[in-house]
A and B are shown apart, each in its own frame.
Chain A
Amino acid sequence: MPESLDKLPSPYLSGVFDLRSAASVELVMSRGCANKCSYCAINESPLRYFSYNRIKKELEYVLARAPRLRSMLVTVADMYENDALAARVLPLLRRAAERRRFRVFFYVNVASLRKDALLRLSDSPWFDVEVGIQSIRPDILRLCRRIPDPAVIKANIENFKALAPSANKALGLISFLPGDDEQGYFDSLEWAISTGLGVAVNHLRVIPGTELHRKCAAMGVKVSPEYPYFVTRTDKLGPAAVRRLSALTGEVFFALRALAADPGLKKDFFRSAASLKTVRPHLFLAGALAGWWARRPATAPVVEIYRRNVLATGSLDRNPETGSFSPGDLRALRAEYARFKEFMGRRTAA
């Protein structure tokens, strides 16, 4: 590839796209990655950035020609990696998003969440920021070549919450990593949900050419022969367990999406979970609630539509905040939530 990314002509500035009806666009800020995560292929190329001027020109071009713009994905391995560039790009994006009222989505690395000045620049309700966590088990993180320190991860997330309170934050996990077992996966998921932030779970894919691809057979990991090559068994989890945990995660995510759509329900859910004495209260409560909604005639169709959508995409929505329900769906979910609480209350009393 050319050494300077600016030598790559811009598809926008070259007039490749007609943006008149575009509601969502992708702005590429960098290529490659400086990290060496074993499951990823982006790091095959060295990390390179487009210049600030090029990014600004593209943004201005898009804003002038896309009157229906509602969301923008800024493609960058870690928005906070390049301090100088991020310090100029974040205010640029923020001004544009707040003025034109479109959402801006980007990824960050959890290790970068000590860059306080950049976190403060991200404090906008128009920003959707996904933090790559993957797991909170040190041995799993070490195998993936990620920061193997859950204490640092948790402290960095708290720092992010404190310095960018109005940004919409989501934590990204990966299910079925080599070495991860049911307990480890549940612990990661429970912690992620307990933060109150959005949660995304990506079923591990084995991308040809990656370190994981080269080593997966020796690690006891099996992969679907069909693209996009989801893991079907691991050294710790057989095929039935992978299917069961996938289904369970899907149910939990339905509950999270519904709760995210109603701040009152969400608040009540976290208050209720805090009072439970079980090992993983948030996971338990979300699972029980999803099961209740799935069994009740008024809400079962809503759950069924969601299940079909998950099956169609093969992956879980990256952010529960983006889930949408009709007013009728929400009324039914609220009514059944109240009945669920009554039921749980009676059961606890008994």
Chain B
Amino acid sequence: MTNNKYTVVAVGTGDPGKLPVWVGYLKAYIEKASTVKDRVAMPMVFPPKPGSFDGLLETIKAARPDMVTFTPHEDWNTESMLTLCVQLKAWNAELPVVICGENPRNRMQVEAAEKSGAIDYLVHGEPEKPVERLLEYYLNGTGDLRGFNIMPLSAAGKVLAAR
């Protein structure tokens, strides 16, 4: 945690040439209106090269994340996103990695996300409430993930969801 706040690094990807407004909505909600607003900071980081997540690992590490969120997008290379997730897990196996669609059409298949072995949670649909619920889980150690379209994929995620 940085400054005593739980740090969720949000990778800011969206339509090429545009600001990642949907990730911005998630950040604004979590930091300003969620049940965990005073306990969470959500810095956004931006890939150096549009279309690819290459070169982002050190930037994320420097932000000292307690959790990282990504969003797939048709104009961004998903393979490089999954590679980065694997690199993050190699750096810190305990780091929760969450994939949530920036909007409903950008979403990964459960099988593809699970196959990577580096993703703890997959969120389909509007992400604000599910991510808030996940953060309550991590901060309070209690809660209920059911009914929020959150799919725990990793062993750690499944243990937490079953708690």
Q: Which residues of A1-31 are within 8 A (CB) of B? A: 1, 7-12, 14, 16-17, 19, 22-26, 28, 31
Q: Is the interface of B mostly helix, strand, loop or mixed?
A: loop
Q: Is the CB of B21 within 8 A of A44?
A: no
Contact residues of A: prevailing secondary structure: loop
Provide the bound-state CA to CA distance between A187 and B25, in Å: 41
Please give, as numbers and ranges, the residues of chain B lying within 8 Å of A16 by CB-CB distance.
24, 27-28, 44
Question: Contact at A11–B25, with CB atoms within 8 Å?
Answer: yes
Judge if A209 is at the interface, Cβ distance under 8 Å: yes
Which candidate, A135-143, A159-167, A224-232, A297-305, is the interface stretch facing chain B?
Answer: A224-232
Indicate the member of A45, A208, A314 with the most B CB atoms within 10 Å.
A208
Contact flag A25-B18 (CB < 8 Å), given A9-B32, A208-B124, A225-B112: yes
Partner of B72, one of A10, A225, A227: A227
Is residue A38 within 8 Å, beta carbon to beta carbon, of the partner chain?
no
- Give the chain A neighbours of B147 by CB distance below 8 A: none
Interface string of B94-129 (1 = CB under 8 A from A): 000000000111111110100000000000111011
What does the 1/0 interface line of A257-285 toward B look like (CB < 8 Å)? 00000000000000000000000000000
- B residues 23-54 with Cβ under 8 Å of A? 24-25, 27-29, 31-33, 44, 51
- As a 0/1 sequence over residues 125 to 155 of chain B, the CB contacts with chain A under 8 angstroms (1 = contact) are 1101100000000000000000000000000
- Residues in B with CB closer than 8 Å to A23 are 17
Give min CB distance, B77 to chain A, whole Å: 9
- Asked whether B74 lies within 8 Å of A9 as measured between CB atoms, the reply is no
Is A207 at the interface (CB under 8 A from chain B)?
Answer: yes
Q: Are A11 and B110 in contact (CB under 8 A)?
A: no
Establish whether residues A26 and B18, one from each chain, have CB atoms under 8 Å apart when the complex forms: yes
B19 at the interface (CB under 8 A from A): yes
Interface size on A, residues (CB 8 A): 38
Interface residue from A11, A207, A227 paired with B27 (Cβ < 8 Å) = A11
A45 to B126, CA, bound (A): 8
B contact residues around A208 at 8 Å (CB): 107-110, 124
Q: Which residue of A lies closest to B125 (CB)?
A: A44
Q: Collect the chain B residues with CB atoms within 8 Å of residue A41's CB.
A: 104-105, 107, 124-125
Enumerate chain A residues within 8 angstroms of B74, measured Cβ to Cβ: 205, 227-228, 314-315
| Bound CA span A226–B78, Å | 8
| Complex contact B24–A17 (CB within 8 A) | yes
Minimal Cβ-Cβ distance residue in B for A70: B17
Quick one: closest A residue to B110, CB to CB? A208
User: In the docked arrangement, what's the CA distance between A7 and B2, Å?
Assistant: 28
Q: Which of B17, B72, B107 counts the most chain A CB atoms within 10 A?
A: B107
Instruction: Tell whether, in the assembled complex, residue A22 and residue B107 are in contact, meaning their CB atoms are under 8 Å apart.
Output: no
Question: Are the CB atoms of B19 and A25 closer together than 8 Å?
Answer: yes
B10 CB to closest chain A CB (Å) equals: 10
Given contacts A26-B15, A45-B125, A207-B107, contact A8 B33 (CB under 8 A): yes
Residues of B near A12 (CB, < 8 A) are 24
Of the candidates B19, B28, B126, which one forms a contact with A10 in the assembled complex, judged by CB atoms under 8 Å apart? B28
Could you list which residues of chain A lie within 8 angstroms of chain B, going by C-beta atoms?
A: 1, 7-12, 14, 16-17, 19, 22-26, 28, 31, 40-42, 44-45, 73, 75, 205, 207-209, 225-229, 312-315
User: Can you name 20 A-B residue pairings with CB atoms under 8 Å?
Assistant: A1-B129, A8-B28, A8-B29, A8-B33, A9-B33, A11-B28, A14-B32, A17-B19, A19-B19, A26-B18, A28-B21, A40-B105, A44-B104, A73-B15, A227-B78, A228-B72, A228-B78, A228-B106, A312-B51, A314-B74
The interface of chain B, by Cβ under 8 A from chain A, is 14-15, 17-19, 21, 24-25, 27-29, 31-33, 44, 51, 72, 74-75, 78, 103-110, 112, 124-126, 128-129
